Structures are given as structure tokens and as C-alpha cells.
Amino acid sequence: MQLILHRAESRDTLNYHELQWLQGLDATLHPHLATLRAQPRGSLEGTTLATGMDELLQCLATVPGDDVQRRGGLRLLLVFAAAHRDGQAVAWQTR
């Protein structure tokens, strides 16, 4: 399984091993991040994207994972931050 992230001018992919970290998150504590794994496609934008970034920062600080899994979380944060800076949405699709 892959998570493909789209912004206006870029496309990033998180692979299966990088997604393992995201799969272990508590959906009740991190609902915006849980939508990434629960829905096969969707998007985050504006305040929802900012809230998702806050959840992601909290998770990176508290949720354990190996280096490959945490790298997936960091890559996701970079995509979110770049989109937020440019006023763009982040769309995703799983395959």
C-alpha cells in the first residue's frame, strides 16, 4: 500500500513501511490524521491542514517508531508545511 500526496506542483509518496507509523495512531486523539488512513482519497486545507500539522507534530514527539516509520511522519509534515505556507490543499490517494 502507498499513500500518494498531491499539491499544486508536486507529488510525494509514502511507502508501506513509512505508513506503519501512521497506522498506529489513535484515531480518537488524532482525527485529522486518521482520515488519511481511513479514506482512500480526500484533502486537507486551510485550518484543517493547520490542525493536521499540529496533530502530526504532537505524534512525532510522543509516538514511538523506528527510523523508517518516523521518516514517513517527517515527510508528511514537510508536505503539509509546504502546502500551508503556499496556501494550497494537500490531496491524498491510497493505492
Mean pLDDT of 9-36: 83
Q: Is the pLDDT of residue 71 over 90?
A: no
Quote the crossing angle between the two packed helices 67-86 and 46-62, to the nearest 10°. Answer: 160
Bridge partners (DSSP) listed for residue 63: none
pLDDT for 73:
84
Helix or strand (DSSP H, E) at 54: helix 46-62
pTM value > 0.75? yes
Mean pLDDT of 60-85: 85
pLDDT for 54:
92
CA atoms within 13 A on the CB side of 69: 13
Please say whether the beta carbons of 32 and 52 come within 8 A: yes
C-alpha cell at 15: 511507502
Mean pLDDT of 56-63: 85
